[in-house]
Amino acid sequence: MHYTAYLRRTEEAAASLGGRHISLAGGYYGIQLATEDDDRFLILALDLDGSLGWAVWTEDAMGERNCDDTIELGWPPIAQLAHVARNAADGHVCP
């Protein structure tokens, strides 16, 4: 995926989902979504090369991951992305 298309896609997804478009490490960008737990955020990231689709993990308010695992979501429609991410994160048990 061309980098400008990647940025546009993540920005549009953030706007559509009502999340914050945030910078991640290494030129990656993601979406920060609030959860019902004030101490936890969902972080959604799109695979830059476009082969794996979206992934999700949770972080606390300080930006520390709640679990080292990243949950691959594939390519759900943007309209369903937040729902799919929340269900995946809520159902995930850290090893």
State how far the alpha carbon of 80 is from the alpha carbons of 2, 10, 92, in Å.
24, 15, 18
CA distance 67 to 65: 5
Mean pLDDT for the stretch of residues 71-76: 92
Cα 31 from chain centre: 5
pLDDT tens by residue, 11-44: 999 999 999 999 998 888 999 999 887 788 999 9
For residue 7, what pLDDT band results from cuts at 50, 70 and 90? very high
| Residue recorded with tokens 């979501």 | 73
CA distance 47 to 53: 5
Burial class (CB in 10 A: 0-12, 13-18, 19+), 93: exposed
